[in-house]
Amino acid sequence: MRKGIAVSPGVAVGTAYVIHEIFVNPDTKRLEDQEISAELAQYETARDRAAADLRALQHKVQAQVGGEAGAIFSVHESILRDAAFTNRVRGWIVNDRLTAQAALHRLLEEYTVLFAKTKDEYLRERLTDVRDVIIRLSSHLSDVLKPEQHALEGPMIVVADELLPSQAVALGNLEVRGIVTQAGSQTSHAAIIARSRGIPAVSGVRGILKQVKTGDSLVVDGREGCVIVNPQPEVRSAYLKLEREFFLLRDQLAANRDQPAVTADGVALELLGNINNAADAKAALAMGGSGVGLFRTEYLYLTHADIPDEDEQLAAYEQIIHASPQHQVTIRTLDIGGDKTVPYLGHHNQEANPFMGWRSIRLSFEHPEFFMTQIRAILRAGVLAEELGGQVKMMFPMITTVEELHRLRLMVRRACSQLAKRGLKYTEVPLGMMLEVPAAAITIDVMLPYVDFVSIGSNDLVQYLMAADRDNPKVSHLCQPLSPAVLQVLRRVIRACRRANKPLTLCGEMAASPRAFVLLLGMGLRNFSMSPAFIPSIKDLATHITLPEAQRVLRKALRLTTTTKVSKYMEKELKRIAPNLSLLDMA
């Protein structure tokens, strides 16, 4: 048994399918003599297409972001055309009979070892550029994942260092029953993907790639955060029973999609979906959500072949609006940085502390014209929502000061003027802030006059409040939403918003935690936004509890002095309130 971090609840049993780094399935076959010419031609075609990509991207980025950002792609093309780079790949195809994919895989391994030896930080950072070029080449050689045939026989457990958005898209049509990653946390890409699809998952399992190979039998327990490799027959049988119970419960809960979200004593709630794309929006509708509380627009940038322009963004937003419940969508502006980067805005993961550095709204301010493109697209998308009887809201991430809100309002007014001059339809949408920074929580009363609504981003708020990087396994134990400190801050913010009559939603992963939901309900929160797969279970939980009962549980929890005591108390209370939901609870 290997321990990790529980990131998506439930139990799954299946066959391991191991994704090694970029190359999901490096081809180990040796080419026949007659295949070498065709393989060389395929590599040259991929190289030409990649070069064309880079040139187009350079021009587009220079126009929207600036010359310095566009120059990154000029560097990438020079790497692609480098004689040593090309000759190595060609030589391994001809002399070692490697496929082009396998040759690129070997090349990346060589460069990784080479760059690791240098003490020059600038040269070490160039490995990121080499990796980007190799990923682009690889995508032209094979733009879909090709799992080995035996890995497709029955339910699959994906095992990876981290699951990238592009990999997740490629896995979409496969029978993925569980996900295990070496890196990551409850807020990593893999965790978000797993929860949005209702897949049990465990992250932060160090060294799992060295222990597991494709074809091994695996058990994933997303409640306790553990993975069992090649379990004994009796252990496997016991977990298969739990797995059947988990999927049966999930299907039963999904049947409540048309029921209203209300507590046992009739208090109305809003249960919204956190989404990355139109498929997630459809899932929110299918699961009985009343709207989209958080559309993470960065995934549009992360999965786009290049930089999406205003019309491309508008088309994507309109697709989301059409698919969303009641056509109600809160669009968060670009939240790039920390663990999410795009090459045309530079590589900033070399910052000493990227999560507290040049990211999110701070990055948007540094590229105002790039940011204005997104603002205009959102204002234009609001027209369609109104025509369909819904509404678009625009939300800004990582707000820290009132000055930022003043600046944002000026930028939105400027965007409206630009659209009016171009004769394009737009609507003045409600403007809101993501409350993620402790400074904003402390000064919430000062912030509220300048926003139409507030959304608490509990993932970041918790890590900033506890001064602990949620993706660092050594301190991730501190990033607990049931910490007494977190609960005190949340109660203060909820009270302030209720006094000011400003709509408030919590859209972090805390919203989908049954233990946290009861406490948030007791504090006065009524709007919860979560991965769509969790909407049915939270809706069911609400029907088991009254508001006075939630307030009684909250009063007791606030008197407890440690996270462990709060968590154990809530585990006991949850079993009493809704024993049927224990399979969906997470430690």
Active-site choice (76, 105, 367, 507) = 507
Q: Are 569 and 560 in contact (CB under 8 A)?
A: yes
- Concerning whether 150 is annotated as a catalytic residue, the answer is no
Query: How far apart are alpha carbons 350 and 128 in whole angstroms?
Result: 10
Token pair belonging to 113: 């070892």
Q: How many Cβ atoms from other residues are within 10 Å of residue 383's Cβ?
A: 18
Q: Are 542 and 263 in contact (CB under 8 A)?
A: yes
- Concerning whether 507 is annotated as a catalytic residue, the answer is yes
The single residue listed with the structure tokens 């569980």 is 178
Angstrom CA distances, 79 to 122, 132, 586, stand at: 16, 10, 46
* The Cα angle at residue 225 between residues 163 and 511, in degrees rounded to 5: 80
Token pair belonging to 465: 């409040």
Three-state DSSP class for 342?
Answer: coil
Query: How far apart are alpha carbons 567 and 552 in whole angstroms?
Result: 16
Q: Are 247 and 12 in contact (CB under 8 A)?
A: no
β-sheet bridge partners, residue 453: 432
Which amino acid, residue 290? S
β-sheet bridge partners, residue 221: 11, 226
Q: Are 420 and 351 in contact (CB under 8 A)?
A: no
Q: How many Cβ atoms from other residues are within 10 Å of residue 33's Cβ?
A: 7
Q: What is the DSSP secondary structure assignment for residue 544, as one 8-state letter?
A: T
Angstrom CA distances, 178 to 15, 93, 281, stand at: 9, 36, 22
Backbone angles phi, psi at 232, to 5 degrees: -65, 155
Active-site choice (76, 105, 140, 189) = 189
With both helix axes pointing from N to C terminus, report the angle between 100-117 and 121-141 in degrees, rounded to the nearest 10.
170
Side by side, the strands of the sheet bearing 5-8 are 2-3, 226-229, 217-221, 11-19, 156-160, 176-181, 201-203, 5-8
Q: Which residues are catalytic?
A: 189, 507
